[in-house]
């Protein structure tokens, strides 16, 4: 579908905190089928698929040495616990499906060794403002295993009590006693996987979880004083329809989580083996899937949730919404965050750290992870050392995704560049997006409109040098000239990496 006229409504604001209005959602619904919505989530820039094996342990040690030189600064930690009792068919995570707690006992032993090994290079005991246990299913660990990991963390780090310490939990496997243990360990935020409450959808994705189970966990979290309860939903799953998903949304709204993520299901059975168990014929058609998304955004914003960006929503008094209003929202590997400016250490199999301008990702398999630690080595698999250009582009993409505006003068002063010279191809590529009403361009600012916020990845992709190089390579392979100054920009290739 083509939209010929620019979509600009007088009075529409571009501030990141502005809620998408009904007209924005209607424009989005019309525009989305012809705009490629696939693309990186930019939880890092460059994205993880650019990491390479030339980055090795020595590079990560150099990053840790730089981090140690700033020992007064707090840190952020990510721990990956890869085990799950059951497989959910939609899953694209790096996980190990097992019921055997001996496997997690062994893993915890190695995790403690890795924590101790890394801590040795940090110049002393460091404060931690943010920690996140992800997976897999972190609550797969039994009480003793969980305590052992936390003891290791507290031996080497000072987990600040006013920091954000979050854990992803599977409501099917957690009872009140376990919730009390999590609170006693110092965790103060929980994130619950829900996906969909419809029984037929749940059967099709092999994740049967009742409303009552979920409600019990939410009630326990409130009673125990957890500061934040967040929930994940997924749209685009088999047997979903607008009406059915709306019923799930109503049940979720009744629980009033502080934060909500509504992710799009990407059916990639050639990449994720578990997805081969999903009947592609039962997936909602693209138009229905879009209607589900639009209806959900409309309902959540009407219920008082603030649209944070991409697939995230928060209550107005939640830290994310506050950070967005104050223009200090950031992105890290967990998505939108209030404390993303710190060096982040990643522990566990496949975990990614971001330290002193470098990304480092751990071994993807348990065997490789264990072998490296047995040899006394950091289990680095691959990584990336950012250039000055990467750092600048990361800042631009972060600003667009979080705060929805680029102040050109401020960027020029901060980074010592002439924006129009440095980003001439990008400015050309933004023009058609401006014509579609996704951005507003002036000599001083690039503003993402409320409509553009719904497609903000598409705007951010303009500043991704590596995607541009991919397009140039693809254009050369097809014999299409792409580099002539002033030439029309080569169309974006369909981009379907899941990162
Ligand atoms: S979705 Fe979560 S609980 Fe389900 S298999 Fe994947 S990691 Fe495990």
Preceding amide of 136 cis, omega within 30: yes
For residue 234, which phi and psi values (nearest 5 degrees)? -130, 130
Q: Is 307 exposed, middle or buried (0-12, 13-18, 19+ CB in 10 A)?
A: buried
Question: What is the distance, to the nearest Å, from the Cα of residue 474 to the centroid of all Cα atoms in its chain?
Answer: 28
CA–CA distance, 363 with 351 (Å, rounded to integer): 8
For residue 483 the two structure tokens come to 């580099």
For residue 372 the two structure tokens come to 């490296």
Q: Which pLDDT belongs to residue 186?
A: 97
Q: How many CB atoms lie within 10 A of CB 481?
A: 10
Spatial neighbors of 270 by CB under 8 A, at least 6 apart, are none
Q: Which pLDDT belongs to residue 169?
A: 95
Question: What is the distance, to the nearest Å, from the Cα of residue 28 to the centroid of all Cα atoms in its chain?
Answer: 22
pLDDT-wise least confident of 427-431, 474-478, 483-487: 483-487
Q: Which pLDDT belongs to residue 9?
A: 38
CA–CA distance, 147 with 185 (Å, rounded to integer): 7
DSSP secondary structure letter of residue 171? G
What's the pLDDT tens digit per position in 264-309? 999 999 999 999 999 999 999 999 999 999 999 999 999 999 999 8
Preceding amide of 46 cis, omega within 30: yes
Q: Is the CB of 95 under 6 A from ligand 1?
A: yes
Q: Which pLDDT belongs to residue 94?
A: 82
pLDDT at 204 over 90: yes
Average pLDDT, the chain: 90
Q: Which pLDDT belongs to residue 488?
A: 32
What's the pLDDT tens digit per position in 435-461? 999 999 999 999 999 999 989 999 999
Q: Is 214 exposed, middle or buried (0-12, 13-18, 19+ CB in 10 A)?
A: buried
How confident is the model over 103-128, as a mean pLDDT? 97
Q: Is the CB of 84 under 6 A from ligand 1?
A: yes
How confident is the model over 124-144, as a mean pLDDT? 95
- pLDDT band at residue 179 under the 50/70/90 scheme: very high
DSSP secondary structure letter of residue 420? H
Helices (H), 22-166: 22-31, 57-68, 101-119, 143-156
Q: Which pLDDT belongs to residue 3?
A: 30
| Closest atom of ligand 1 relative to the 86 alpha carbon | 5
Q: Which pLDDT belongs to residue 108?
A: 98
CA–CA distance, 491 with 433 (Å, rounded to integer): 12
Q: Which pLDDT belongs to residue 496?
A: 27
DSSP, residue by residue, 14-43: --TTPPPPHHHHHHHHHHGGGS-------S
Q: Which pLDDT belongs to residue 22?
A: 83
More confident residue, 29 or 46: 46
Which residue puts its alpha carbon closest to atom 1 of ligand 1?
91
DSSP secondary structure letter of residue 186? T
How confident is the model over 7-36, as a mean pLDDT? 67
Spatial neighbors of 268 by CB under 8 A, at least 6 apart, are 92, 275, 496, 498
Q: Which pLDDT belongs to residue 491?
A: 31
pLDDT at 484 over 90: no
More confident residue, 233 or 330: 233
CA–CA distance, 61 with 383 (Å, rounded to integer): 12
Q: Which pLDDT belongs to residue 152?
A: 98
pLDDT at 472 over 90: no
Judged by DSSP in three states, 285 sits in coil
What's the pLDDT tens digit per position in 338-371? 876 799 999 999 999 999 999 999 999 999 999 9
- pLDDT band at residue 17 under the 50/70/90 scheme: low
For residue 263 the two structure tokens come to 């992710």
Residue with tokens 């102040």: 407
Residue with tokens 């397009």: 471
Residue of 46, 23, 131, 137 whose CA lies nearest to 396: 46
Which residue puts its alpha carbon closest to atom 6 of ligand 1?
91
pLDDT at 492 over 60: no
Preceding amide of 93 cis, omega within 30: no
Mutation choice for ligand 1 from 80, 85, 87, CB with most ligand atoms inside 8 A? 87
More confident residue, 293 or 327: 293
Residue 313 is inside which H or E element, if any?
strand 312-314
Q: Which pLDDT belongs to residue 10?
A: 36
Residues β-bridged to residue 440: 447
How confident is the model over 456-482, as a mean pLDDT? 84
Q: Which pLDDT belongs to residue 417?
A: 94
Which residue puts its alpha carbon closest to atom 4 of ligand 1?
88
How confident is the model over 462-471, as a mean pLDDT? 93
What's the pLDDT tens digit per position in 209-234? 999 999 999 999 999 999 999 999 99
Mutation choice for ligand 1 from 90, 134, 137, 265, CB with most ligand atoms inside 8 A? 137
Residues β-bridged to residue 356: none
Q: Which pLDDT belongs to residue 490?
A: 32
Q: Is the CB of 194 under 6 A from ligand 1?
A: no
100 Cα: distance to centroid of ligand 1 (angstroms): 16
How confident is the model over 187-213, as a mean pLDDT? 97
Q: How many CB atoms lie within 10 A of CB 340?
A: 22
């Amino acid at each position: 579908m083509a939209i010929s006229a620019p979509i600009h409504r007088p009075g529409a604001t571009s501030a990141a905190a502005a809620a998408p209005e009904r007209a924005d959602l209607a424009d989005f619904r019309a525009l989305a089928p012809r705009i490629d919505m696939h693309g990186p989530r930019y939880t890092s820039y460059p994205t993880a698929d650019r990491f390479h094996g030339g980055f090795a342990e020595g590079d990560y040690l150099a990053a840790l040495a730089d981090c140690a030189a700033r020992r007064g600064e707090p840190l952020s930690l990510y721990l990956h616990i890869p085990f799950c009792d059951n497989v959910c068919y939609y899953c694209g995570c790096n996980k190990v499906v097992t019921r055997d707690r001996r496997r997690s006992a062994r893993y915890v032993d190695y995790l403690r060794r890795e924590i101790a090994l890394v801590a040795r290079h940090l110049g002393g005991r460091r404060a931690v403002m943010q920690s996140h246990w992800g997976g897999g299913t972190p609550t797969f660990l039994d009480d003793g295993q969980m305590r052992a990991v936390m003891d290791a963390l507290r031996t080497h780090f000072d987990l600040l009590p006013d920091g954000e310490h979050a854990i992803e939990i599977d409501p099917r496997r957690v009872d009140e006693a376990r919730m009390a243990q999590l609170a006693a360990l110092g965790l103060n935020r929980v994130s619950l996987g829900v996906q969909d409450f419809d029984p037929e959808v749940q059967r099709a994705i092999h994740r049967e979880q009742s409303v009552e189970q979920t409600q019990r966990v939410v009630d326990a979290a409130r009673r125990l004083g957890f500061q934040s309860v967040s929930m994940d939903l997924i749209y685009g799953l088999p047997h979903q329809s607008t009406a059915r998903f709306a019923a799930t949304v109503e049940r979720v709204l009744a629980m009033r989580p502080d934060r909500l993520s509504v992710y799009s299901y990407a059916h990639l059975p050639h990449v994720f083996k578990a997805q081969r168990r999903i009947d592609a014929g039962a997936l909602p058609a693209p138009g229905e899937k879009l209607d589900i998304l639009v209806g959900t955004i409309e309902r959540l914003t009407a219920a008082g949730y603030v649209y944070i960006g991409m697939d995230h929503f928060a209550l107005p008094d939640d830290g994310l919404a506050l950070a967005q209003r104050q223009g200090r929202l950031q992105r890290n590997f967990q998505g939108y965050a209030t404390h993303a400016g710190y060096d982040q250490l990643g522990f566990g199999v496949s975990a990614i750290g971001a330290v002193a301008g470098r990304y480092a990702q751990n071994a993807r398999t348990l065997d490789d992870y264990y072998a490296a630690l047995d040899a006394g080595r950091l289990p680095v698999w691959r990584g990336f050392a950012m250039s000055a250009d990467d750092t600048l582009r990361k800042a631009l993409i972060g600003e667009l995704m979080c705060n929805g505006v680029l102040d050109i003068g401020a960027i020029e002063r901060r980074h010592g560049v002439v924006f129009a010279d440095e980003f001439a191809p990008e400015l050309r590529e933004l023009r058609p997006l401006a014509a579609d009403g996704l951005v507003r361009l002036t000599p001083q600012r690039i503003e993402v409109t409320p409509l553009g916020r719904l497609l903000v990845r598409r705007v951010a992709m303009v500043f991704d040098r590596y995607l541009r190089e991919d397009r140039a390579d693809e254009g050369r392979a097809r014999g299409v000239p792409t580099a002539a100054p002033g030439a029309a920009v080569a169309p974006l290739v369909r981009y379907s990496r899941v990162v």
